[in-house]
Every structure is written in structure tokens, then in C-alpha cells.
């Protein structure tokens, strides 16, 4: 299961991700560093599928213009 989820994230990054994929210059990118998809991969690899998916889901929920988190971009 872990390998399948990591592969799906890799496919997302290579195709439609605003930070990694073909739409790289179309958007400002992720407000967090590392990007949400890179964080998800790292979290799943280190903490396992259930905990990693929960952590990355919580981060994606916070990734919106109303959130006070993230990095400041010029």
C-alpha cells in the first residue's frame, strides 16, 4: 500500500503539481516548504501510511489563503 501511494504522489508531482509538474510556472506554488506533496511523501516514508496520510491531509487542509502558516514569498 505504501509503494502505491508514494507512486501516485510521484505521478501527481510529474504531471499536474504547481511546484513540480508541467504547470510549474503557471502558479505561485505551494505556500509551505517543502511543498505539500514532498511533505506527504516524506511523512508516509517516515511515519507509515496511516499517520503519514493524516499528517499530509491536515497540511493540505491548511494550505489556503486564509491560513496564517507557510513561508513568506516576495
What pLDDT does 25 receive? 56
DSSP labels, 6-67? HHHHHHHHHHT-TTTSTTTTTS---SSSS-HHHHHHHHHHHH-HHHHHHHHHHHHHH-STT-
63 neighbors 19 (Cβ within 8 angstroms): no
Mean pLDDT by 10 residues, the chain (74 residues): 93 79 60 84 95 92 75 55
Can you tell me the distance from the alpha carbon of 71 to that of 48, in angstroms, rounded to the nearest whole number? 26
Amino acid at each position: 500500500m505504501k509503494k502505491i501511494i508514494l507512486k501516485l504522489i510521484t505521478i501527481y508531482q510529474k504531471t499536474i503539481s504547481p511546484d513540480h509538474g508541467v504547470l510549474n510556472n503557471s502558479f505561485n506554488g505551494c505556500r509551505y516548504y517543502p511543498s505539500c506533496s514532498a511533505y506527504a511523501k516524506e511523512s508516509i516514508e517516515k511515519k507509515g501510511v496511516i499517520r503519514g496520510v493524516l499528517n499530509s491531509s491536515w497540511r493540505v487542509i491548511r494550505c489556503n489563503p486564509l491560513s496564517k502558516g507557510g513561508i513568506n514569498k516576495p
